Structure 1
Amino acid sequence: MLVLEYKVKGKQQQYQAIDEAIRTTQFIRNKAIRLWMDTPKEQKVDKIALNNYSTGLRKEFGFVKDLNSMACQSATERAWLSIARFYDNCKSKKSGKKGFPRFQKDNRSVEYKTSGWSLHPTKRRITFTDKKGIGEVKLLGKWDIHTYPVKSIKRVRLVRKADGYYCQFAVDIEIKPEQRTGNGEIGLDVGLEFFYSDSNGYHEENPRFLKKAEKAIKHAQRQIYKKQKGKNQRRKARQRYAKKHLRVNRQRNEHAKRVARNLCKANAFVAYENLNVKGMVKNHCLAKSINDVAWSLFRRWLEYFAVKFGTTVVAVNPRMTSQKCSDCGAIVKKSLSTRTHKCSCRCEIQRDVNAAINILNLARQARLGHNRSNATGLATSTLVGESLLEQVARKNVESPGFTSKRATAMF
């Protein structure tokens, strides 16, 4: 699936109608979660039962009936996704919280399937045909939605963001491969000092987008509490604050996408660390910096462009890669503050470059031993030092859902 995003331009009453459709979607999802909670264990509640429940809600509530029937089904599908994820986590005996389904309070989107909307022949306008009153809105953007047939559009989603409303199209197409410019092999060691260090000795600078914008964000946050609750000025202050966070989020996406594309375009084999980012952010001293560098986002884009350029990517267990000498294989213990690797074999090299070389060597061993990759996000990554069961258990977490041509929220 390819996601194309357009800015929506309409009248104020149309924006209010979109908000009403979004609230209705949240209502249906929460009612479906409540049905699942209240149903005895002896009775089975599955995806089909929730879809049938949405039909009952349409008969009971008039504002639900005004929403397109397939949009109502999409809302119950969201509820079922959260329930199914909870079941999967329990079956796989995931450590920690299992993700018990919660009621949603801040839904920001409504999703239509193949009905409830129609594109203008120029494909620069879209009309929503249900009874919510959205009507026809303009689509502002450069993406080539007019080059795809309407039948290939499987989902249409209206999203409310800090700077306005957007329309996203999920287009069912095959990713067209592109020609690589090189056939090199490279190992990557991500970090906080540098965004990544590779096995060739190159260091990609850490952009630190949040740190650069933190002063302005804190100032905008203070302005919120200086305004009286319920007043229009407080709402505007909150909107200014949200826009600054949205800008940082977009900067991270564009940076991760650009770097991942360049790496996959220039190399036929890329090895990277299989980091447990969720566990690492529990360190409150480093959590903000880890979230700012966005390692997980970079990995998703790396796997996406690996498919596009036919690059093989391999995830490596990073255990001891910083302590092991890349020249002789000896273990040289060092603290995080020690940034230079010095070994008795006279190997003296920057710590992260040494780790990147070790990651590349481990990936080469995995390629020769197993010949597996996670380039498509569907196969299991080759993780050196882990069992096949552990690899399969994390497959669903590692694999991205939809991919986008730009840094958009994913379906």
Structure 2
Amino acid sequence: VRAVRRADGYYAQFLVDWDRKEEHEFQGKMTGIDLGLKEFYTDSDGNTVDNPRYLKKSERRLKSLQRRVSKKHVRGKKQSNRYHKVRKALAKQHLKVSRQREDKARKDALALVKSNDLIVYEDLKIRNMVKNHHLAKSISDASWYQFTQWLQYFAKVHGVIVIAVPPHNTTVDCSCCGVKVKKTLSNRTHKCNKCGTVLDRDHNAAKNILVKGFKLLAEYLNSTVGHTESGAKSSFIAGRN
């Protein structure tokens, strides 16, 4: 047990050694998901989950509180009660956004695991992606990392399989014929000139992600565990033989 201080008070955290297992009704449902900023994710059936953008919705209040904190701060002197009151309000607002992200990630991951027996997602290098200053705030607000961590946890609990695959060319390749179709970030539709396939960009990527997952699973079952075509290791969370 440990005591933790948050902006809204103190909490006691208990660590319990418990091998949690939940019953899962296996129906042979499989899906690939493409994580995004426009939609939180799009699956290989074309279904989407909204990106709530909690930070963006709270930005006006956060900026207002930050300005009030700056105005009331007096350098080199003991800070007033008004300063501490506003400072605590700012911290609580940041904590609220953090908790909203965590709650959304947990609920989305659990819903996905409960409705599927095999889930494939992109093994995104989020640390590298946030170096893009134009997208860093939006990527952090989407909380992809929290979502994938909860996805792996619930997969173990429910005994389903989760596979993380490299994201290379999932957006470019045509999910129908395999021809590479170059796209800019603003191009939201996949149009293949060879086979005539027209899909939402993220739907096309999700279908490619699922196919990559099948290939890795086949390699896994053939005892070539954890190696992709490029030789990079892939994550398997398998709760059932």
TM, length-normalised to structure 1: 0.54
Cα distance between partner residues in 1 of 2:216 and 2:26: 25
Cα distance between partner residues in 2 of 1:312 and 1:178: 14
Residue 368 of structure 1 pairs with residue 213 of structure 2: no
Aligned-residue offset at 1:383 = 6.0
**Residue number in structure 1 paired with 2:162:** 313
Contact 1:322–1:351, Cα closer than 8 Å, also in 2: yes
Cα distance between partner residues in 1 of 2:134 and 2:102: 24
Aligned-residue offset at 1:314 = 0.4
Cα distance between partner residues in 1 of 2:221 and 2:153: 19
Aligned-residue offset at 1:216 = 0.6
Residue 280 of structure 1 pairs with residue 129 of structure 2: yes
Q: How is 1:196-235 mapped onto 2 (pairs within 5 angstroms)?
A: 196-229=41-74, 230-235=79-84
Cα distance between partner residues in 1 of 2:190 and 2:199: 5
2:202 paired residue among 329, 352, 360: 352
% same residue: 44
**Residue number in structure 2 paired with 1:158:** 3
Larger Rg: 1
Q: How is 1:170-209 mapped onto 2 (pairs within 5 angstroms)?
A: 170-180=15-25, 182-209=27-54
Aligned length: 230
Post-superposition Cα deviations, 1:286-328, rounded to whole Å, max 9, x if no partner, equal 0000000011110000000001111100011010010000000
Post-superposition Cα deviations, 1:74-94, rounded to whole Å, max 9, x if no partner, equal xxxxxxxxxxxxxxxxxxxxx
**Residue number in structure 1 paired with 2:138:** 289
Give the RMSD, CA atoms, in angstroms: 1.9
Cα distance between partner residues in 2 of 1:259 and 1:354: 21
Q: Which has the higher contact order (CA 8 A, sep 6+)?
A: 2
Give 5+ residue unaligned stretches, structure 1. Answer: 1-155, 373-380, 400-411
Post-superposition Cα deviations, 1:223-262, rounded to whole Å, max 9, x if no partner, equal 1012143212111111000000000000000000000001
**Residue number in structure 2 paired with 1:385:** 229
Contact 1:316–1:383, Cα closer than 8 Å, also in 2: no
**Residue number in structure 2 paired with 1:244:** 93
Cα distance between partner residues in 2 of 1:363 and 1:290: 24
**Residue number in structure 2 paired with 1:83:** none
Cα distance between partner residues in 2 of 1:383 and 1:239: 49
Cα distance between partner residues in 2 of 1:384 and 1:196: 23
2:205 partner amino acid: A
TM, length-normalised to structure 2: 0.91
**Residue number in structure 2 paired with 1:105:** none
- Report SS of the residue matched to 1:243: helix
